[in-house]
Every structure is written in structure tokens, then in C-alpha cells.
Amino acid sequence: MDRAVDGHHPRLSRRAVPSGFAALPLGFFALFFAYPVARLLWQSFGGGDRARIASALLGEDFARIAWFTLWQAVASTTLTLLVALPAAWLVAHHRFPGRAGFRALATVPFVLPTVVVASAFGALFERLGVADGDGFRLRHTVAAVLLAHVFFNFAIVVRTVGTFWSHLDPRVEQAAAVLGASRLQVLWRITLPRLAPAIAAAAALVFLFSFTSFGIILILGGPTRATIETEIWRFATRRIEFDVAAAVAVVQLLAVLALVALTGRLQRRFAQQQRLVTEGRARPIRTARQAALAVAVIASSLTLLLAPLAILVERSLARGGGYSLAAYADLGSFASQIGTSPADALVNSLVIAVTATGIATIIGGIASLVVVHGRSSVSHLVDLAMLLPLGTSAVTLGLGMFVAFDTAPLDLRTSWWIVPLAHSLIGIPFVMRSVIPLLRSVDDRLRESAAVLGASPRHVRREIDLPIAARGIAVGAAFAFAVSLGEFGATSVLPRRPTTLTAPIAIFRLLGKPGDLLRSQAFALAVLLMVLTIVAVVAIEALRGQRTDEAGW
């Protein structure tokens, strides 16, 4: 078995992929991520007005904004853990009718466009009568931002912690109970310490997404609730001070990298060798107490997840004193507030999302092949490089591309392609996270058998790896499509023409104009965007199949 057959080595693992395969993903990363970031650095510290930059970064206003950015992210993370951990416990411990649907529903908010999330909560506040007025109100408050962040990040905790929890060996807790420990003691002294790595990982992700939140802060927080992310947008689009915007973006990028390094160190410190079981610990509900707890968790979770979305639909249908489809019919009419019709903006989003998905699938698929089968040094480099855009704020990413591609031969500011290229950078990590685990699951003995029978490495990849990875590619493509469809941050700072105006930008503009008719149009467009995203989530769950009931993301 160790001898080559017809010149082909049977062990097709690490060196089966030539290093040249890495040229395309690394070149794409260098051109569309590393180069824009480098230009941002130059714009900040080499080519900008240093006095103006120093005044902006060292002033009291920026210190106040940075502090708000930090503490609202901490508060959002804490609240999300408190609200979502009961749901993670439920899916980890019990099987019940509709369990798979409950998990899928929990995923929907995370992939919803942030503009849709903000629109849903805005509609909810209007319906409850707490949007405006001199009394109690929620619009443009910190409470509104925190509530929307909990809604948006709920799935991270349920999926990450719930999956890990479901595979913890239950015999450890059972032994503690036999020795006389109460349920509370078992939870506090046994279960939570064992869950620490998963909780830390989920908390790190929630904090990162809350720290770099843009659409929710901009719409629900209002002009008085600024974060570092919204300041980048304000300097770039409102004050046209690109050097200051670039400097603020670099500060945020450094902060995010420091946070990622810190959380990674904490996760390694908390990580323990846990006894995991492959079968999972979820069991049917047997007692009245278990049923009551399950009903309470499901009811509270569904209220959080469904109420804003249901009210969004209801508000999109409201017209005068009744309900009609007038707002949806009006989407085809030209709107001077956005420079085109909302329907055309939705079509633009679909075309851009399809294009971005195609780019992300090709680059992400090749990068996944290099990560799994390439040389170790190249594999690690590609894996790290392609994940960096996911840890970078979308506004920073868009601003970097706007600053970088302003001169020939890379003058893309006026090109239609700049938007799908920016979206594809965000979609590539989702493709890779879906494909890499499946490629790694292929038994090397299957490849060796094919090689013994005379198959070349190219044939092995085409006949074995590709069919197995096809489902992962489809899942990753669906994720990339959903992400591109709702992308708001990067697009908000890129040049916009009627052909590149996307649905999230149109919703934001419509919500920013006075008048019930325009708000109804915004809500109707948000509902359509929500439906398309839900279709993508359903496709993802269907493509993953039955195994995901006990698997992770």
C-alpha cells in the first residue's frame, strides 16, 4: 500500500494539492483585503491631515463613543447569554416535536439583514405605542439596541453552547447526583465549568458582533447613540473626511484584533479535555416538570423570535384604518427618496447576491481544498487569511475598498463589481466553514483505494472529494447568498448608483424620511427581504440533513 501505483502516491492527504492552488485565494485576499487595509493605514498616518485626525481621536466625543461601544457590547453579551442559555439547555437535553424547526427558527435572526431586524423592532415599538412621545419610549434608546442585539445573537449561543452541551458525557453529573449533590450544585460546580469553553466561544462571537454592530445602532440607536462603527460611516458619508474615517477604522480594526487575540487566549485557558459522547444526550420529555420547563422556554423564546417579525408583517399591511397590499403594490413605483423604485433595489440585491455567491463559492472552495490537502505552512496561511475579513467590520471593509480603488488600473469606485466583490469577502469564510469539515471527514483509506486502482490525484478529487463536499458547498453558498442579500455596512460607504442600490440601503433611506406611506413601503420591502432570507435558511437546514440535529453550525 505504500508503493506508488502508475506513478501516483496512494496517500492523498497533505501534499495532494499543489501549492499553486493557493495562488488564487491568496491573490484575491491580497488584492481585495490586504491592499485596502494598507491604503487605510497610509490614509490615516501618511497622507491625511494629522492635526485633524489627532483632534478627532483624542477629543472627549471620541472617548465617550468608544466607551459606549464597549459597554453596550458587554451588556449585549451578558443579556444574550442569560436569555439564550435556557434554550441551549432545552435543545441539548430533550427531544420534542418541532425540535428541528425550533433550531431552524433560532437561526433565522442571525442571518436576517440588520436593517430588517431594526425595521422589525421599529414596527414593534410603533405597534405597542412606545416608539415616540413624551412618556415611556423605546425608539432611539439603549434598551432598544440591547433588545435587538439579543434577538440577533440568540442563535450563536443556542447553536454553539447547545451543540457542545448535547455531547458532554452525562455520567459525570449523574455521579455527582448519586453522591448527594443538589441540582443547583451540579449545575454550578460540574456543568458550568465543563461548558466554559463553549460559553467563552459564544460570548466572544456575540461581543464581536455587538462591538461592530452598525445597522441596529444606526436605526434603533438614533443620532445620539453613536459607536465607533457609526462614526466611521458618519465621517466618510456625512462629513466627507476620509482621512479621519480611515484613522477611526484603523483604531477599530486594532481593537477588534486585540479582542480576538484576547478571547482566543481565554478560550485556550478555559479549555479542558472533556469526555464527549458521539450519540448526544437529548432524551424525550418524560415528566410533567420537564414538560413545564420545556413549554416555558419555548414560549419565551418564540415570543422573542416571532413577535418582531410578526408585527413587521402586520405593519407592512396596515393602511389607514384597515389592511391591504397597497404598500407592496407601491414597491414598483419610482421613489425620488431613493432614486429608483424599491422593487428595482430588490432586484439589484438579488443580482449582486448571486454574483457574490458565485465568487465566494469558487474562492472559498479552492481555499478549502488547500486548507485540507495543502502543505501545512500554506494551509495555515490560507485558513487565517480568508477568515480575517469576517473579523473586520463591514464598514471598515467597504471604506478600505473605497479608498484603495480610486485610480487606474484599479479604479473600481464607479464599477458595478465593487459591491459584489466586497460582499464575497464576507461570504468566503461561511463557504470554508461549511466545506472544510466535510473534506476532513473523508476517510483516507477511500482515497488510497482509488489510488491503488490507478486514479490520479485529480481524479480522486473529482470523483471522491467533490461529491462529498458538494453538500457543504451548497450550504456555504446559501449562507453567502443570505449574507450578501442583507449586507448593509460595506455597501453604505461604497458609491451608489441606481444599478448598485440594494434593498437594505433602500429600506434605510425610506425609514429616514417622514410619512406613513414611506414607512409602509420600507416595512413591505423588509418583509420581502426577510422571506428570501428565511428561504435560504430552510435550504441550509434541508441541505445539512438529519445529522445536524446533533451537529453544530
Residue type, 348: N
Most confident among 21-35, 229-243, 319-333, 407-421 (mean pLDDT): 21-35
Contact 215, 489 (CB under 8 A): yes
Q: How confident is the model over 16-68, as pLDDT tens digits?
A: 566 677 889 999 999 999 999 888 888 777 666 677 788 878 888 888 999 99
How far is the C-alpha of 534 from the C-alpha of 335, rounded, in Å? 27
Give the residue, 44 or 101, on which the prediction is more confident.
101
Please state the pTM of the whole predicted model: 0.82
How far is the C-alpha of 249 from the C-alpha of 262, rounded, in Å? 20
Task: List, in order, residues 6 or more apart from 274 with CB less than 8 Å away.
Answer: 168, 169, 194, 197
Q: Which three cell numbers stand for residue 368?
A: 478549502
Find the helix or strand (DSSP H, E) in which 419 lies.
helix 418-440
Query: Residue 95 above 50 pLDDT?
Result: yes
Largest CA distance in the chain: 82
Share of the chain above pLDDT 90, in %: 22
Closest listed residue to residue 252, CA positions, set 274, 230, 268, 285: 230
* pLDDT confidence of residue 528: 93
Query: Residue 527 above 90 pLDDT?
Result: yes
Mean pLDDT of 502-511: 90
Query: Which domains does the chain possess?
Result: 36-326 (1.10.3720.10), 335-497 (1.10.3720.10)
* pLDDT confidence of residue 551: 40
Contact 441, 468 (CB under 8 A): yes
Phi, psi angle pair for 417, to nearest 5° = -70, -20
Torsion angle of C-alpha atoms 527, 528, 530, 532, degrees rounded to 10: 160
Question: For residue 375, is it left (φ>0), alpha (ψ between -120 and 50) or beta?
Answer: beta
Q: What is the mean pLDDT of the chain?
A: 81
Most confident among 94-103, 132-141, 445-454 (mean pLDDT): 94-103
Question: In Å, what is the CA distance from 196 to each residue of 89, 199, 269?
Answer: 14, 5, 10
Q: Which three cell numbers stand for residue 226?
A: 453613536
How far is the C-alpha of 152 from the C-alpha of 305, rounded, in Å? 9
How far is the C-alpha of 136 from the C-alpha of 129, rounded, in Å? 9
Residue 409: asked if its preceding bond is cis (omega within 30°), the reply is yes
Task: List, in order, residues 6 or more apart from 527 with CB less than 8 Å away.
Answer: 312, 313, 316
Q: Which three cell numbers stand for residue 88?
A: 441551549
Query: Residue 119 above 80 pLDDT?
Result: yes
Task: List, in order, residues 6 or more apart from 201 with CB less than 8 Å away.
Answer: 160, 267
Closest listed residue to residue 368, CA positions, set 24, 7, 9, 5: 24
Query: Residue 437 above 90 pLDDT?
Result: no
Mean pLDDT of 466-476: 75
Q: How confident is the model over 158-201, as pLDDT tens digits?
A: 888 887 777 776 666 667 666 677 777 777 777 777 777 788 88
Contact 25, 367 (CB under 8 A): yes
Q: Which three cell numbers stand for residue 384?
A: 487565517
How far is the C-alpha of 385 from the C-alpha of 396, rounded, in Å? 17
Give Rg (Cα) of the chain: 25
Give the residue, 498 or 122, on which the prediction is more confident.
122
Most confident among 33-42, 64-73, 318-327, 433-442 (mean pLDDT): 64-73
Residue 135: pLDDT band (50, 70, 90) is low
Query: Residue 547 above 50 pLDDT?
Result: no
* pLDDT confidence of residue 5: 39
DSSP state of 335: B
Mean pLDDT of 324-333: 89
How far is the C-alpha of 436 from the C-alpha of 42, rounded, in Å? 35
> Is residue 240 packed enough to be buried (19+ CB in 10 Å), middle (13-18) or exposed (0-12)?
exposed
